[in-house]
Amino acid sequence: MSFREWWTLARPPTLPASVVPVAVGTAAAALSGSVNLAAVLVMALVAMLLQIATNMANEYADFRRGLDAPESVGIAGSLVHGRLEPGAVRTWALLTYGLAFGLGLLLVILRGPVMLAMGAAGILAGYFYNAGPWPLSATVLGEAAVFLIMGPIEVAASEMAAGGRVTGVGILASLTVGVMVAAILLANNLRDRVKDAAGGRRTLAIRLGPRRGGQVLAALVVLGTVWPLVAMAAGLLPLGAGLPVLALPWGLGQIRRLSHGGFTRGVLVLGRIHLVAGLLLAAGLVFGRR
């Protein structure tokens, strides 16, 4: 396993999805006190390593189930093109999970056993998302799972790491993060719906189809960008938290073009929308402190 192959398996275009929860959680912590920047850096590394390990596990699991082919879009291709053996990818997925767990122990020492529970939940969720007799990634529950894991749980863990506690502001802000991550997965599954159906999967994208799937994507972007503005107007989030709504017109335009193009670039497009909306939210929370 060369570093280049490891990085290909990491699927770099997906990694901003693990940075946004840390940014939003850190911004929420800054509202109520000082921020431990060293802990934030460790948390960012842990979040990124967990996603990389999950991407590797997904590559391994999909190959073993016969879902991937040389012409498949959005995969690393290390297995279908014969550059690596399946056992090597599985081993490196486990090693990457182990590295994330080891770094996470630093946060446990700093912040206590709650961080251990959150880290264990993240690792177990990554496992059951891809593995086991009924992997969540093959069901209509996939989007709900990533909403919870990479939304409320990861933002809460990031806020805890940065400031030592979880606040209502962090939880409310995490809903936008979770909704946008769910939209990334839905776009991914809309792109792969034909091969997934042939492989026996029953994802939400298969149930919805391309037309309704595009409509749900648009609804998720509306919900994710408008929710902070509503919460701000209700006094639940500080002034400035409504900034993500600025990304709404651009985001809807991107989804309109994406729907006409067959969702081929779905992960990239929704990843950008998620990144922009998330950073606007983090900036708005920091601004709200002032």
Q: How far apart are CA 216 and CA 229, in angstroms?
A: 20
The predicted pLDDT at position 176 comes to 96
Residue 215: alpha-carbon gap to chain centroid: 21
Answer whether residue 209 shows pLDDT above 80.
yes
Average pLDDT over residues 201-219: 91
The predicted pLDDT at position 130 comes to 74
Q: How far apart are CA 52 and CA 203, in angstroms?
A: 22
How many other CB atoms are there within 10 angstroms of residue 252's CB atom?
16
Average pLDDT over residues 233-239: 91
CB 227 within 8 A of CB 274: no
Answer whether residue 290 shows pLDDT above 70.
no
**What is the chain's percent helix, strand, coil content, to nearest 5?**
80, 0, 20
Cα–Cα nearest to 276, from 256, 249, 247: 247
Banded model confidence at residue 76, pLDDT cuts 50, 70, 90: confident
Answer whether residue 77 shows pLDDT above 80.
no
Q: How far apart are CA 234 and CA 76, in angstroms?
A: 44
Answer whether residue 14 shows pLDDT above 90.
no
What share of the chain in percent tops pLDDT 90?
49
Mean pLDDT of the chain: 88
The predicted pLDDT at position 194 comes to 85
Answer whether residue 259 shows pLDDT above 80.
no
Report domain extents, the chain. 3-289
The predicted pLDDT at position 289 comes to 59
Q: How far apart are CA 256 and CA 249, in angstroms?
A: 11
Answer whether residue 170 shows pLDDT above 90.
yes
Which residues make Cβ contacts (< 8 Å) with residue 155, sequence separation at least 6? 21, 24, 25, 28, 170, 171, 173, 174, 177, 178
Banded model confidence at residue 132, pLDDT cuts 50, 70, 90: low
What share of the chain in percent tops pLDDT 70?
97
